[in-house]
């Protein structure tokens, strides 16, 4: 009886037992919380694994259930992509390319020679020249009466002509076309027009320098001619020709120091007149002679610079070095038929499978509502 009473009607605990129970709960409460959190995480992982396995099983069941339909769709997609990627529907294009390096050019600003070459090759002048030479409007089948025909033409040109920089500071020029010979000729023409454009640019700039030196030379010649004219006037009016020699002879005649029989024939009046002319105009004569000699040196320097500038203006250089020259390709580069077939087939498979998933989910939801 006492046991049953203790079991169903437990006695109240004493103060000491109550204190011990509180200490025990306080010491082991963290362990209980940790154990509870760990158990919840383990249960969550188990739940996810079960759902993942169930999801995989469902997908596998769907694949097996619809395998015939999926196989038919894949085969049809494979056949259609192989047919529509053929030459009857997509004209094959052939690629021709050239790898070149710039030469005989100098950068205008912070860019290097390769970047300058890229800028020139991508200029509108070269693209318009290529379009005109190969009649690309007709070649690409663009209606010239279309108000946006030029935009369409430039878009088509950008799709078929690629100019890019190589990792080794070269330039790669690629052209795609339905005719391999036309593709090769277009690459060669791009390089030809590039050389012509750079030559024209140099001729324009060096032509300005040549004209500048020509004007400077003309001015210098006119100034020297004016100095010579003044010196000629001195010679005609005052009989001054050689200051040093004439001064020496006048001094001898004036002082009567001429040796030989000529001493008695000295004309004093003429000597005095010449002496007066030298005294009055001798300084001008020396100044003119010195100026003529100085300006003659400047004139020679200008002529030298002019000849150098004219050599730069008249040079007939090429401005590219071809590492790989263009040639007609014997194998098409576009379209990549196997890639089109693979992508089309995979796309058809995944789209079909997504449709199947939608249909199966719709059936499941409909059955649950009933």
Q: Of 13, 48, 65, which residue sits at a domain end?
A: 65
Percent of the chain with pLDDT over 70: 71
Looking at the structure, do residues 122 and 170 belong to the same domain, yes or no?
Answer: yes
Rounded mean pLDDT, 140-165: 93
Rounded mean pLDDT, 68-95: 87
**Integer Cα distance of 188 and 174 in angstroms:** 11
Other C-beta atoms lying within 10 Å of the C-beta of residue 208: 11
Residue 8: the pLDDT is: 38
Residue 370: the pLDDT is: 59
Q: 84-131: per-residue pLDDT in tens? A: 888 778 889 999 999 999 998 887 777 889 999 999 999 999 999 999
CB 80 within 8 A of CB 344: yes
**Integer Cα distance of 370 and 99 in angstroms:** 72
Residue 287: the pLDDT is: 84
Q: Which residues of 99-125 are buried (b: 16+ CB within 10 A; e: fewer)?
A: bbbbeebeeeeeeebbbbbbebbeeee
- Higher local confidence (pLDDT), 211 or 88: 211
Looking at the structure, do residues 294 and 368 belong to the same domain, yes or no?
Answer: no
Looking at the structure, do residues 221 and 189 belong to the same domain, yes or no?
Answer: no
34-43 long-range contacts, Cβ below 8 Å, gap at least 24? none
Please tell me the pTM assigned to this model: 0.64
Rounded mean pLDDT, 34-58: 48
Scan for tokens 């409909």, then name that residue. Answer: 366
**Does a cis peptide bond (omega within 30 degrees of 0) precede residue 369?**
no
First CA to last CA across the chain, in angstroms? 60
Q: Which residue in 216, 229, 360 sits closest to 299, CA to CA?
A: 216
Residue 307: the pLDDT is: 93
Q: How confident is the model at residue 33 (pLDDT cuts 50, 70, 90)?
A: very low
Say which residues have a Cβ less than 8 Å from residue 186's Cβ, sequence separation at least 6.
96, 130, 134, 161, 175, 177
Residue 10: the pLDDT is: 46
What total of structural domains would you count in the chain?
4
- Higher local confidence (pLDDT), 13 or 365: 365
CATH number, domain of 201, equals 3.30.1890.10
**Structure tokens, 212:** 């500048």
* DSSP H helices in 66-162: 67-84, 113-121, 124-133, 136-139, 149-160
Q: 220-247: per-residue pLDDT in tens? A: 999 999 998 887 787 677 666 665 655 5
**Integer Cα distance of 227 and 293 in angstroms:** 10
CB 62 within 8 A of CB 356: yes
- Length of the chain equals 370
**Integer Cα distance of 92 and 178 in angstroms:** 6
Q: Tell me which of 70-79, 125-134, 182-191 is least confident.
A: 70-79
Residue 231: the pLDDT is: 79
**Integer Cα distance of 163 and 98 in angstroms:** 10
Residue 353: the pLDDT is: 86
Looking at the structure, do residues 109 and 233 belong to the same domain, yes or no?
Answer: no
**CA angle 199–205–208, rounded 5-degree value:** 130
Query: HSE on the CB side for 138, CA within 13 Å?
Result: 4
**Structure tokens, 361:** 């989910």
Q: Which domain holds residue 115?
A: 94-205+321-335
Looking at the structure, do residues 221 and 199 belong to the same domain, yes or no?
Answer: no
Looking at the structure, do residues 162 and 260 belong to the same domain, yes or no?
Answer: no
Q: How confident is the model at residue 356 (pLDDT cuts 50, 70, 90)?
A: confident
What is the per-residue DSSP string for 281-342? HHHHHHHHHHHHHHHHHHHHHHHHHHHHHHHHHH-----EEEEE-----SS--B--HHHHHH
Rounded mean pLDDT, 331-342: 86
Inform me whether the pLDDT recorded for 14 exceeds 60. Answer: no
Residue 127: the pLDDT is: 95
Q: How confident is the model at residue 360 (pLDDT cuts 50, 70, 90)?
A: confident
Looking at the structure, do residues 244 and 293 belong to the same domain, yes or no?
Answer: yes
Inform me whether the pLDDT recorded for 338 exceeds 70. Answer: yes
Looking at the structure, do residues 201 and 327 belong to the same domain, yes or no?
Answer: yes
Looking at the structure, do residues 105 and 201 belong to the same domain, yes or no?
Answer: yes
**Integer Cα distance of 125 and 184 in angstroms:** 20
Scan for tokens 């004439």, then name that residue. Answer: 246
Q: 275-318: per-residue pLDDT in tens? A: 666 656 666 777 888 898 899 999 999 999 999 999 988 888 89
Looking at the structure, do residues 196 and 98 belong to the same domain, yes or no?
Answer: yes
Q: How far is CA 16 from the centre of its chain?
A: 90
Rounded mean pLDDT, 245-258: 53
Inform me whether the pLDDT recorded for 326 exceeds 60. Answer: yes
**Integer Cα distance of 337 and 154 in angstroms:** 26
Residue 343, SS3 per DSSP: helix
Mean pLDDT of the chain: 79
Looking at the structure, do residues 243 and 341 belong to the same domain, yes or no?
Answer: no
User: 129 φ, ψ to 5°?
Assistant: -65, -40
Q: How confident is the model at residue 3 (pLDDT cuts 50, 70, 90)?
A: very low
Looking at the structure, do residues 19 and 55 belong to the same domain, yes or no?
Answer: yes
Q: Tell me which of 19-23, 213-217, 307-311 is least confident.
A: 19-23
Q: How far is CA 137 from the centre of its chain?
A: 26
């Amino acid at each position: 009886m006492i046991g049953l009473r203790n079991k169903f009607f437990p006695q109240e605990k004493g103060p000491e037992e109550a204190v011990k129970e509180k200490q025990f709960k306080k010491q082991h409460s963290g362990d209980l919380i940790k154990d509870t959190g760990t158990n919840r995480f383990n249960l969550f992982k188990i739940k996810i694994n079960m759902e993942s396995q169930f999801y995989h099983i469902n997908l596998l069941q769907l694949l097996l259930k619809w395998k015939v339909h999926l196989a038919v769709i894949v085969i049809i997609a494979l056949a259609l992509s192989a047919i529509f990627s053929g030459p009857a529907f997509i004209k094959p294009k052939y690629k021709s390319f050239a790898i070149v390096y710039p030469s005989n050019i100098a950068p205008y600003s912070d860019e290097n020679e390769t970047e300058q070459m890229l800028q020139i090759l991508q200029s509108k002048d070269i693209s318009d020249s290529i379009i005109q030479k190969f009649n690309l409007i007709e070649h690409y089948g663009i209606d010239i009466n279309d108000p946006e025909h030029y935009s369409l033409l430039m878009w088509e040109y950008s799709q078929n002509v690629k100019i890019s920089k190589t990792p080794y500071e070269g330039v790669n020029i690629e052209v795609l076309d339905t005719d391999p010979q036309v593709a090769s000729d277009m690459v060669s023409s791009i390089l030809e027009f590039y050389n012509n454009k750079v030559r024209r640019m140099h001729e324009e700039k060096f032509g300005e320098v040549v004209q500048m030196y020509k004007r400077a030379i003309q001015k210098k010649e006119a100034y020297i001619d004016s100095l010579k004219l003044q010196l000629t006037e001195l010679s005609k009016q005052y009989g001054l020709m050689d200051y040093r020699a004439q001064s020496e002879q006048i001094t001898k005649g004036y002082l009567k120091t001429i040796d030989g029989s000529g001493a008695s024939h000295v004309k004093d009046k003429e000597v005095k007149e010449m002496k007066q002319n030298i005294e009055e105009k001798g300084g001008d004569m020396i100044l003119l002679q010195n100026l003529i000699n100085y300006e003659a040196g400047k004139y020679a320097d200008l002529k030298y610079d002019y000849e150098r500038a004219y050599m730069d203006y008249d040079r007939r250089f090429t401005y590219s070095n071809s590492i790989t020259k263009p040639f007609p390709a014997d194998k098409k580069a576009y379209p990549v038929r196997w890639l089109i077939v693979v992508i089309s087939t995979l796309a058809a498979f995944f789209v079909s499978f997504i449709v199947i998933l939608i249909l199966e989910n719709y059936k499941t939801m409909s059955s649950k509502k009933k």
